[in-house]
Amino acid sequence: MTSMTAPPDTANPSKSPVAFFGGIDTHKSTHHVAIVDATGRPITDRQFDTTPTAYAEIVAFFKGHGTVERVGVEGTGSYGAGIARALDAAGIIVREIARPNRQHRRLKGKSDPIDAHQAALGVIADTHTSTPKSGDGTIESIRILMAERHSAVKARSQTMNQIHSLLITAPDRVRQDYRALDKTRLVTILTRTRPAPGDDPDAITRQTLKRLAARHTALHDELAIIDIHLDALIRVVNPALLALSGVGVVVAATLLTAAGDNPERLTSKAAFASLCGAAPIPASSGQRIRHRLSRGGNRQANSALHRIVLLRMRHREPRTAEYFDRRRAEGLSDRDIIRCLKRHIANEVFHTLTHPSPDAPAGVALRARRQALGIPITVLAATLGVPYQKLRRLEIGTRGDTTLEHQAHAALDQITPPATP
């Protein structure tokens, strides 16, 4: 019997590369990086600074230990934003880690190496993780402008409240001069005043009121500039979003910011509704089947959906009015109906975010057709039963409303053009 020798590649098969997983505990000045194997056993860990050079060192640190399957990063929207972008640019899959396991923290304590190791374990199981926002496109610019806008709105409100508060305790002569004025006229007149110099309470009050009014006016002008910039960016990214009924510049910017520069990370309508806090949460037990309201998610996006519902209710948008009447007949309260509508609108917004159409209906074509037929805008508005200002904003492109535009085109088909003399 002769023995047979196996070929070298069969007798000594090459080992496949071992996959490793990483975890990063992020801080303002330092990041702690941990590497574990597929079973969760610690391989190594190390601390790095938060500089571009250190980010390159972290990438080399991962690649120097083999094939990195995934890396879990805490706080990709804050301290971990820089390293997340660096890892993504290096071709490493990044997953955002939710809050650390509190039960493990109570048992094992807390430190940077422990938190980094827990982040690596979390990315192995891929539970309570998500794809982070890329944060490197136009929507990141929109997010920055929205943060500036939020602070400007807050400062303007505080300034106005301080003016009213100061007028309550002001000397009688000052209070009598301005007590009958509304907000707009009050700011305008205070800005134009020329208070006399002096150190008495009357003079100081008038000087302070003028400076506060000037601050309010400056913040108002700043908000106008921000809104113009936001409108231009939104029309570049997703003009179809502004064509939805009840969606303006601020609402559109809020929803775009919630989705991020990579909306494809939202895998379904249910995922987007959950992100916006508009998805009901199961709360069943035994034979009782029920759901409860979600109080999580992005609260700014939830507020934007709520605002869309209120605007559609106010303007009696046909689909919204029909839905309200039908659900009221079924015995639902207005609060429950609004919650249901927010979920429906979340589905509509999700489709628009993931399928941006640059060919959204434009009011300019409507205006050209109306003028070609010689029909005044007031006649068309009266036929539709809407204020002519609303129709005018649609025609000049400052307000999108697909439903109204289709109704206007249908009305133009029915209106008899005036006879030419």
**Segment 71-87, tens digit of pLDDT:** 999 888 889 889 999 99
- Read off the pLDDT band of 104 (50, 70, 90): low
CA dihedral sign, ordered 81, 82, 88, 93: negative
CA dihedral sign, ordered 85, 236, 408, 381: positive
Which tens digit of pLDDT belongs to each residue from 40-76? 899 999 999 999 999 999 999 998 888 888 999 988 8
Q: Which CATH class is domain 363-414?
A: mainly alpha
Q: For residue 145, what pLDDT is reported?
A: 95
Q: For residue 251, what pLDDT is reported?
A: 94
Mean pLDDT calculated for residue range 300-310? 93
Structure-model confidence comparison of residues 190 and 180, the more confident one: 190
Q: For residue 399, what pLDDT is reported?
A: 63
Q: For residue 416, what pLDDT is reported?
A: 74
Question: 73 in helix, strand or coil?
Answer: strand
Other CB atoms within a 10 A radius of the CB of residue 215 amount to: 19
Which tens digit of pLDDT belongs to each residue from 126-153? 777 788 887 778 999 999 999 999 999 9
Main-chain phi, psi angles of 32, to 5 degrees: -105, 125
- Can you tell me which residue has the tokens 């972008």? 85
- Read off the pLDDT band of 154 (50, 70, 90): very high
CA 57 to each of CA 49, 88, 170, 274, 387: distance values in angstroms, whole numbers, following the listed order: 10, 14, 62, 37, 62
Beta bridge partners of 33: 24, 46
- Read off the pLDDT band of 23 (50, 70, 90): very high
Taking phi over 0 as left and psi of -120 to 50 as alpha, with beta for the rest, 366 belongs to: alpha
Which of 368, 298, 301, 309 is closest to 334 using CA atoms?
309
Which of 212, 169, 159, 175 is closest to 190 using CA atoms?
212
Mean pLDDT calculated for residue range 252-257? 94
Mean pLDDT calculated for residue range 167-182? 87
**What pTM, to 2 d.p., does this model score?**
0.75
- Whether residue 16 is predicted with pLDDT greater than 80 in this model: the reply is no
Q: What CATH code is assigned to 19-130?
A: 3.30.420.10
Q: For residue 61, what pLDDT is reported?
A: 92
